[in-house]
Structure 1
Amino acid sequence: MKIAAIGLCACLASTTAIAADVSITEDNVNIGAAKYSPYLYRGHPTQVFWGDTHLHTSYSTDAGMIGNRLPPDTALRFAKGEKVVSSSGVEARLIQPLDFLVVADHAENLGLAVMIEESDAALLRDRWGKEVHDLVKAGDSYGAYGKWGEEGVATGINPMPNVALQRNMWERLIDTVEIHNEPGVFTSLHAFEWTSSPNVKNLHRVVLFRDDDDRVKLVLPFSAYDSEDPEDLWNYLEGYEERTGGQVLAIPHNGNLSNGLMFDVETRAGEPIDAAYAKRRMRWEPIYEVTQGKGDGEAHPFLSPEDEFAEFHNWDKGDFGFEAKTPEMLPNEYARSALKLGLEQQAALGINPFKFGMIGSSDSHTSLAGTREENYFGKFSGVEPGTGEFRYDDDVVSDRRPDGDGGVQVKHWETTAGALAGVWARENTRKAIWDAMARKEVYASTGTRPVLRVFAGWSFTEDDVFKPDFATIGYASGVPMGGDMTAAPEGRAPKLMVRALRDPNGANLDRIQIVKGWLDANGVSQERIYDVACSDERAISDNNRCDRPVGDTVDLNTATYTNTIGEAALAAYWEDPDFDPSSSAFYYVRILEIPTPTWLAYDRVKLGSEIPAEGVLKHQERAYTSPIWYTPEG
């Protein structure tokens, strides 16, 4: 049985195999006399926990009004590993439970569909509420949904500004989330989604609380009816902390429907961002949802033409159907280009506004946080398995331009099964998981669960990556993902140690890559990719790439693959061969799995579906760590 292939880069030779360190120890603190047990004073993360920070239930109007019948309770039971029945009547279960879940229902008219279903007395006393209630009860759910969209979302004015209704549904959601929280076993975190869409561009954020119900109930969700300006959301977050003594952060969504606004260098008021803006943005938004069901947002072929893996489920047609994408919008939408832009802004402002960690999540509106391709229940309940051609032909984004030719249209077959957040923490609790996100010791997966860890330091040796106390050394002499380096010692360059272990229920690994961004002598950001470990004893060529592709075992006739190629574990030691101590830089790790079938390939076999000719039937799942930044002194 193959265990691992270890690639050593920066002109180092390959060496022998090791197994990845799954339960990783931490730095020991010597206090007083020497102790026998070396683990008495561990204070660093020891485990990776998997979760979805972006799931919608029937409490979201854009889910509950169009077929989602599953409340937060069902979503949480499903995440904990229970078998449930989907809104369309299909049984569903995860291959293994999640460790945590964030129910992030839209703040705008939270719980409207549920109140309609229950014929809530307070709702019926509200004129507008009764109108949409009566439409639904008369069998015109889509008419009611359209009325909400036209008279509420499109206008930016709350059609039902009833605080009592909002508080009732918010507290019901909080109570359900609280019931399912089991410290040490399963974590459910309080949250909502702020659905800002200025000029129909996606600036959505998930607002995530560290606290329990007693503090969270002291506030109501902040909605796009209150403001579409992120700076006003930050004011809300600051006000929450001042009022309650609690803690909160916001997670921006994948920016590929923002048409250049997600990482804009101007404020919503049209002013250039300044140091104060940059400081506030990183105070309140330390991490970014780089990948989700509406496409992947790590890189784009136009921005990274030398990256042969940059074309991965890119959504690059336009916004929510009203404006087509132009090339100049792209740098402000993708994570890698935003990280590079952050270095440039740091040089100009003295602080980096885009110094974010990276996670993935589903953005599913079915209440089902299933992110594996063979278990995909759709973006919305109306496109769950068994719904026929509609499952593929439904518009996720319609072309709403007066003279539209379909060029900005996105069909459901273009969605992915979603993504996950990997979090390094000591225990499975709200505080530990939230704290890991705040310090950016997190990573993004496109849906599988590989174990991935990276440390950067000045004094690591080639042998350190092979030692059983790899992580102890990493924390003692370096920084983990999400960390910062400065003050380069004379004559030294950053040294990175990486370990990766495949998902035990998934595909083998193809390679480990290090993505570097830096400022050149002219202050212009640059990027380079280094393959640092290649499976199957492949060598690393002079162009810093594995000397040949990993191969392909996918059988599309049966939607299967085998782990006869690739490796179960990879590790690497790498020293930056082009380091300039006077230049700011960042480094993050990207790992690739061997090719596997997509949900379209599984559908074709399991359901006998006719798949659109343009559909992608196989791909290479991947994961991205949060970066590690280097900043020169002064």
Structure 2
Amino acid sequence: MKAPLLGAAAALLAGFSLAGCEKVSQAMTGTAPAAQIPETAYPERVLWGDLHLHTANSVDAFGFGNRLGPEEALRFARGEEVTSSTGIKARLARPLDFVVITDHAEGMGSTMALYNAPRIMIRDPQVLRWYDMMHEGPRQSVAAMAEILAARANNTLPPMFRDPKASAERTHNVWNTHLGVVERYNEPGKFTAMMGFEYTLMQGGNNLHRNVIFRDGKDLVSQVDPLDPTNEATPDKLWDYMDAYQAKTGGKVLAIPHNSNVSNGLMFMMTDGAGQPMTAAWARRRAEKEPVVEITQIKGDSEAHPFLSPNDEFAGYGTAGWDIGNLMLNEAKKPEMFAAEYVREALKRGLALEAKLGANPYKFGLIGSTDSHTSLSTGDENNFFGKHSGNEPGPTRAMGSQSLGTRLGRFGWQYLAGGYAGVWAKANTRAAIWDALARREVYATTGPRMTVRFFGGAGFTAADLKSDWVKAGYARGVPMGGSLALGAGGRPSFIVSALKDPDGANLDRVQVVKGWVDAAGKLHEKIFDVVWSDMERRQASGGKVPAVGDTVDLARASYTNSIGAPALSTVWADPEFDPRFRAFYYLRVLEIPTPTWPAYDALRFKLKLGPEVIQKAQERAYSSPIWYSPAGPA
């Protein structure tokens, strides 16, 4: 969320904001191993992680009640037990392989500094009121933070919040302390702690946020401070910052846009960020700086919307409540905004722009992450710890309002449990994970850890699945995120493979989502069911595969794997391929229906939820696309 700046009083006591940040456990004294980890010839296993996580150093996270810092976040991600801000013991049953803490650059550590400041130092009556509310308890702290965020969106913050010098000094101190903690927890080959921050670009409440991810360690990253987006309206200054970092240090950095679904038509425009005609240079720059997009997370899913894809029976997952307005709910959504907000439509727009400009600004891979503001990277429905500490597990969170006092409203049950990033890296190291992101060999899930492989080439057949098909995929084709080189007269074929989460639900089906632009510049899409469970019984009719069934028992918040399949694979060729037209292909992997987190809450807290509450859904994975161009790979 948009983070305000704090100034004078908090700046006088900036040292208070660092309290507790350097609590390093006995097990983590010293530096992480520096030994070089050998990379495999090609990725052999998927790595799981969260590229979007907030701690108490984020202005909104602390204001909403989070008291866990970077150390607790890293300990939790690697599988240790921690105590949440509301006193609940929490531990991941399956540790993550990597994590990036992306605290907001704007106002980093400022609400912590305000909270820790002596009350007598605060002169502004509005700020003093917020200070008192934050000290009254979690509920009032949440209310204070909601008011601060609303004031920021409406540009009505008190003057003391707008002291750039004080803010820069505080950010520098908090940032460098944070980098030291991250460095100590990085264990190449075992657990990767990467460095990053969130660039919270959001004028007028319209979400244009980016997570900035560094390839490097503290020796290089500490040479810069996070960039404050307060006075910016387009991402260009961020890209300038990234260029300057690389020129200064020789390091590497990329940015990941997220929550396009609440940008109110601004994230994937047909113009540049300022609304001017897009140039090839601008398109190339965006594609270079932002090779990956976060398609799913707690604040909704941005793959597709029924308004844009009325013939897609599975469109609209995770859109409830998020399609009514922008992030701050101070501007209602209009139907004409959707096309610039959803990833599938953006991929199609990218083809049209490439045909016109010779460059595709929206040639991006797909990842999921949590955007948790609790310091806890939980992506599972049965282990959801809330968006922020104000809605950690409790009997009121499902039906609690998310409204910030506007005429619009969202409810707690409309949060998703989160998302994770699956990364096909050649080693569990910062460099290998970052390189996989840069080449787009990554995929998104809504939480389950399905193993998804996708290769495209010119001559794959069913016989390839009987041999070392992964090796064949790399040798004779391209993986997800790649561009096809077919040669004269070539036709694309694809190796498709999906394995269920070992601890999760069976699979319903695997679909190929195709988009293309025709000679007249018209955009098209089509969904192909390419392999599904129980294919002999569930035969397609009229181009539609029958539903897989439903074993969910809401009274017990349970399901059974008596339907679906543990693994699905096939080799598929596009039956409608036209070599004249630019196209992309990506996989959507659907699980059988399972309970959502409100269903688990209903059981745990003995709740009676209304019919509007979604208590079961088909969770899913999205691969990065594979692109085809008549001119060959870009």
TM-score category, normalised to shorter length: 0.7 to 0.9
* In 2: Cα distance, 1:357 partner to 1:165 partner: 35
1:477 and 2:481 correspond: no
Aligned AA for 1:236?
Y
- Aligned residue for 2:363, secondary structure, equals coil
- Residues 211 and 271 (structure 1), Cα distance of their counterparts in 2 relative to 1, 3 Å cut: same
* In 1: Cα distance, 2:143 partner to 2:505 partner: 44
Say if 2:458 and 2:486, in contact at 8 Å, map to a contact too. no
* In 1: Cα distance, 2:622 partner to 2:555 partner: 31
Partner of 2:184 in structure 1? 179
Q: What's the CA shift string for 1:381-428, capped at 9, x where partnerless? A: 111112x32x1233334462xxx3xxx311111111000000001111
Unmatched tracts of structure 1, length 5 or more: 1-39
Partner of 1:577 in structure 2? 575
User: Which deviates more from structure 2 when the two are superposed, residues 256-265 or residues 158-167?
Assistant: 158-167
Unmatched tracts of structure 2, length 5 or more: 1-37
Output aligned runs, 1:318-357, within 5 Å: 318-319=325-326, 320-357=328-365
- Aligned residue for 2:262, secondary structure, equals coil
Output aligned runs, 1:369-518, within 5 Å: 369-386=377-394, 388-389=395-396, 391-398=397-404, 400=406, 404=407, 408-467=408-467, 469-490=468-489, 492-518=490-516
Say if 2:52 and 2:101, in contact at 8 Å, map to a contact too. yes
Aligned residues: 583
Q: What's the CA shift string for 1:516-557, capped at 9, x where partnerless? A: 1111232211111111111023455264442x2111111111
* In 1: Cα distance, 2:615 partner to 2:450 partner: 22
Partner of 1:623 in structure 2? 621
Q: How big is the alpha-carbon RMSD for the aligned residues of Structure 1 and Structure 2?
A: 2.4
Which of 261, 269, 273 does residue 256 from structure 1 map onto?
261
Aligned AA for 2:526?
R
Which of 208, 228, 241 does residue 236 from structure 1 map onto?
241
Which of 201, 210, 213 does residue 206 from structure 2 map onto?
201
Aligned AA for 2:354?
Q
Q: What's the CA shift string for 1:360-386, capped at 9, x where partnerless? A: 011111111111001111111111112
* In 2: Cα distance, 1:126 partner to 1:500 partner: 60
- Aligned residue for 2:462, secondary structure, equals coil
Identity %: 48
- Residues 224 and 350 (structure 1), Cα distance of their counterparts in 2 relative to 1, 3 Å cut: same
Aligned AA for 2:192?
T
- Residues 137 and 420 (structure 1), Cα distance of their counterparts in 2 relative to 1, 3 Å cut: closer
Partner of 2:163 in structure 1? 160
Shift of 1:612: 3.6
* In 2: Cα distance, 1:132 partner to 1:222 partner: 29
User: Which deviates more from structure 2 when the two are superposed, residues 588-597 or residues 222-231?
Assistant: 222-231
- Aligned residue for 1:166, secondary structure, equals helix
- Aligned residue for 1:443, secondary structure, equals strand
User: Which deviates more from structure 2 when the two are superposed, residues 112-121 or residues 617-626?
Assistant: 112-121
1:365 and 2:373 correspond: yes
- Residues 137 and 607 (structure 1), Cα distance of their counterparts in 2 relative to 1, 3 Å cut: closer
Q: What's the CA shift string for 1:196-229, capped at 9, x where partnerless? A: 1122100001011111011111111112225232
- Aligned residue for 2:570, secondary structure, equals strand
- Aligned residue for 1:425, secondary structure, equals coil
* In 2: Cα distance, 1:175 partner to 1:592 partner: 40
Shift of 1:185: 0.5
Partner of 1:316 in structure 2? 323
- Residues 532 and 409 (structure 1), Cα distance of their counterparts in 2 relative to 1, 3 Å cut: same
- Residues 261 and 606 (structure 1), Cα distance of their counterparts in 2 relative to 1, 3 Å cut: same
- Aligned residue for 2:437, secondary structure, equals helix
- Residues 130 and 216 (structure 1), Cα distance of their counterparts in 2 relative to 1, 3 Å cut: farther
Aligned AA for 2:185?
H
Output aligned runs, 1:11-160, within 5 Å: 43-119=41-117, 135=132, 139=136, 141=141, 145=145, 148-149=148-149, 154-155=154-155, 159-160=162-163
- Residues 364 and 223 (structure 1), Cα distance of their counterparts in 2 relative to 1, 3 Å cut: same
* In 2: Cα distance, 1:218 partner to 1:125 partner: 33
Aligned AA for 2:45?
Q
Aligned AA for 2:347?
L
* In 2: Cα distance, 1:623 partner to 1:498 partner: 13
- Residues 120 and 109 (structure 1), Cα distance of their counterparts in 2 relative to 1, 3 Å cut: farther
Shift of 1:311: 2.2
Q: What's the CA shift string for 1:139-165, capped at 9, x where partnerless? A: 474676367446656439962321321
- Residues 537 and 137 (structure 1), Cα distance of their counterparts in 2 relative to 1, 3 Å cut: closer
- Residues 615 and 127 (structure 1), Cα distance of their counterparts in 2 relative to 1, 3 Å cut: closer
1:304 and 2:321 correspond: no
* In 2: Cα distance, 1:142 partner to 1:594 partner: 36
Say if 2:367 and 2:421, in contact at 8 Å, map to a contact too. yes
- Residues 340 and 134 (structure 1), Cα distance of their counterparts in 2 relative to 1, 3 Å cut: closer
Say if 2:58 and 2:104, in contact at 8 Å, map to a contact too. yes
* In 1: Cα distance, 2:607 partner to 2:557 partner: 13
* In 1: Cα distance, 2:404 partner to 2:39 partner: 56
- Residues 355 and 183 (structure 1), Cα distance of their counterparts in 2 relative to 1, 3 Å cut: same
Aligned AA for 2:478?
V
Q: What's the CA shift string for 1:299-349, capped at 9, x where partnerless? A: 111111111111211121111212211111111111111101111111111
- Residues 151 and 598 (structure 1), Cα distance of their counterparts in 2 relative to 1, 3 Å cut: closer
Say if 1:60 and 1:105, in contact at 8 Å, map to a contact too. yes
Partner of 1:19 in structure 2? none
Shift of 1:170: 0.7
Aligned AA for 1:304?
S
* In 1: Cα distance, 2:499 partner to 2:131 partner: 54
* In 2: Cα distance, 1:133 partner to 1:321 partner: 21
Aligned AA for 1:602?
Y
- Aligned residue for 1:410, secondary structure, equals coil
Shift of 1:503: 0.4
- Aligned residue for 2:189, secondary structure, equals coil
Aligned AA for 2:466?
F
Aligned AA for 1:172?
T
Say if 1:152 and 1:159, in contact at 8 Å, map to a contact too. no
- Aligned residue for 2:349, secondary structure, equals helix
* In 2: Cα distance, 1:631 partner to 1:396 partner: 44
* In 1: Cα distance, 2:211 partner to 2:126 partner: 26
- Aligned residue for 1:392, secondary structure, equals coil
Say if 2:197 and 2:226, in contact at 8 Å, map to a contact too. yes
1:562 and 2:565 correspond: no
Q: Which has the higher contact order (CA 8 A, sep 6+)?
A: 1
Normalization by structure 1: what TM-score?
0.88
* In 2: Cα distance, 1:372 partner to 1:631 partner: 38
Shift of 1:101: 0.7
